[in-house]
Amino acid sequence: MRKTLADGPNTAGGERVMILSAGVGSGHNSAAAAVEQACSARTDIDEVQVLDVLQVSSALYRDVLAKGYFALVEDLPWLIEWGYDASDPPFRRRGPIDPWTGINALPVIRAIKRFRPTAIVCTHFLPAQLLATLLLRGVIDAKTAIVTTDYDFQGLWLTSAFHQLFVAREEGRVELTALGLPTDRIKATGIPIAADPNPASARDGSGPPMLLISAGAKGGDYAEAVVRQTLHMRSAFTATIVCGHDDALRRRIEALVAPASNRYHVLGYTTQMGQLMRRADLFVGKPGGLTASECMAAGLPMVLVSPIPGQEIRNGDYLMEQGAAVRCNSAATIGWKIDEVLRDPVRLRSMQAAAQKTGRPDAAVDVLSALLDGPTRPLVVTRAAQKTILDASERRVVATDLTGPSSLVRLIEKTEGSTVALLRAEELVVLQKRYSTDNGDLILRREHSPMSLKWEERRLFRAMLRGEDELQVRIEGPSAPCGTLTE
C-alpha cells in the first residue's frame, strides 16, 4: 500500500503527514488507513503518504516477517506465545536496528527524504524503531507518533526517541508512566479505526438476533467449525458469514448451510464490515486489535474463538474484563456458548452496552490532534535510563519509586513545558558541570567541537536542539549523585 493524496487546501506551510505501517496481518495497515482517513478532515494537512514498509523491502525479508509469522501461528503457536513474552520487557532491545533490517530500511529512508514529512505516524513497531534511529542521527526533523494496535501494551513498541506514544487503553498509559515515561508523551486514545462513510441504521431488535461470523480477511478454518456448531443451536437467529479472501472456505460453508439457507448469508471479502457490525447483535471470531476495536465502536459484543497466543489472548482478556465478550476454548462447545448468550436477552443487552462503553470511535482523530498540536521536540530516553527501566521491570519494581544514582530524572523544556529527555540521575553530573545556571536549570548549548561531547551526549543534543544553538531546560526528579554519562 503506497499512495499520495492531496487533502484540503494547498496552503503554504501545511502539514505533510507520512503514515508507516507493515503488512503483517491486516490490522496495522487498517490502522494506517484510519489515520489517513482522519487526515482528510483537517485543513492544515497538505499531503499524505501511506507506506507499507514491507512492500519496499526485499521479497525474502517480507516473506520471513509476514508469511513466516502466519506459518508459526498455524503450526507452532506456542512459539508465538514464547516470542511475545520474550519481547515484552520494556527496552530489552536497546541497540541499533540489526544489519538485515537496516539494509531493508534503506528504501524507506529514501522515501522519507523524498516526501519531506512534517509528521510521521507509525502503526507497527518496525518503522517506529527506524524513526528513533533517524531522530537521534538528525536525519529527520518530523514529529513522530507510535500508535499501538492491540489493547495490551507490549514493550517491543518502546523506542529511544519519539514525540508521542498512543496506547489503546488507560491501563497501558498507567503502566508506561509507572515505568518512568513522562505523562505528557503518553496518550490513551484507543486503536484507530476507519469511520464508516455510510453508517447503517441502529439494530432494531424486532427480528431474531443476527450473528456476524468472521473468518478474517485471509480466511480461517475455525469459521467452518463455528458454522457447523450453529446448525445445532436451539435459539432463533440469522447469521452473516464473512469468509474473506478464502474462496474455498466460502464454497464449503455455502454447501454446509444450503439446507438452512434462509438463516445464513455467506460472503467472501467485503468492504462493508462496518455496516455489518452495526446491524449484527453478536460477533463470533478472533480478537485481533482492529477487529475488536471496530466491534466495540459498533457496540457489538464478541464470542472469541481461536485467539492467537500473545496479543489476541490479551485482547480477549481485556474485553471479557469489560463485560463485552465471552471466550470459547473448545470447538465442541461453540454453539452452546453462543446459545447461552442469545437465550438471555438481558445478558446480551448488557454486553452490548459494555461494548459501546469500551469503544473509541474517534481514536484516529485524537491521535492526529495530539501529534500535530503537541510538542515540537522529541522525547529522548538515554540508554542508561532504558537499562534502569528494564532492570526495574524485571525486578517488579516501579521505576518511579527508585532513588539514588540509578533513579530517573527528566529534562523539561522551559518554553513548551514538555519533557525532552529521560535519563539516569548520575548522567546529570557532566551536564550540570558544563551547563548549569544560577537557579539550578540547564542551558544546553551546541558545542563548537562536537568531539568534546561523549557519544551519548551527542545523540541527546542532536535530537533535542533540532538545529538550534541552545535550549533551556529544568530538571525534575532526584538530585544527581556522582557519576558520568555512560557510553
Grid coordinates belonging to 53 = 514498509
What does the pLDDT profile of the chain (487 residues) look like in tens digits? 344 444 443 445 799 999 999 988 788 999 999 999 999 999 999 999 999 999 998 888 887 777 777 777 777 888 888 888 888 999 987 666 778 788 888 999 999 999 999 999 999 999 999 999 999 998 999 999 999 999 999 999 999 999 999 999 999 999 999 999 999 999 999 999 998 776 655 666 778 999 999 988 676 778 999 999 999 898 899 999 999 889 999 999 999 999 998 999 999 988 889 899 999 999 999 999 999 999 999 999 999 998 988 999 999 999 999 999 999 988 889 999 999 999 999 999 999 999 999 999 999 999 999 999 999 999 999 999 999 999 999 999 888 888 888 899 999 999 889 999 999 998 888 888 889 988 889 998 887 555 566 777 788 888 888 878 889 999 998 654 444 444 3
Grid coordinates belonging to 191 = 486503536
Give the Cα separation of 437 and 432 in Å (integer).
8
Give the Cα separation of 169 and 189 in Å (integer).
7
Give the Cα separation of 448 and 461 in Å (integer).
13
Cross-strand partners of 361: none
Query: What distance, in Å, lies between the first and last C-alpha atoms of the chain?
Result: 39
Give the Cα separation of 160 and 456 in Å (integer).
12
Give the Cα separation of 105 and 10 in Å (integer).
30
At residue 166, φ and ψ (nearest 5 deg) are -110, 125
C-beta separation of 72 from 41 below 8 A = no
- The string of DSSP letters for 283-336 reads EEE---HHHHHHHHHTT--EEE-SPPTTHHHHHHHHHHHTTSEEE---GGGHHH
C-beta separation of 112 from 73 below 8 A = no
Question: Counting beta carbons within 10 angstroms of the beta carbon of residue 487, is it exposed (0 to 12), middle (13 to 18) or buried (19 or more)?
Answer: exposed
Cα-only R_g, the chain:
25
> pTM above the 0.75 mark?
yes
Strand 302-304, strand 282-285: pairing: parallel
Grid coordinates belonging to 456 = 551519548
Grid coordinates belonging to 308 = 492467537
HSE at residue 85, side-chain half, CA atoms within 13 A, is 8
Give the Cα separation of 360 and 169 in Å (integer).
9
H helix intervals, 87-169:
99-115, 125-137
Q: Which of 426, 476, 418, 431 is nearest to 457 (CA)?
A: 431
C-beta separation of 22 from 54 below 8 A = yes
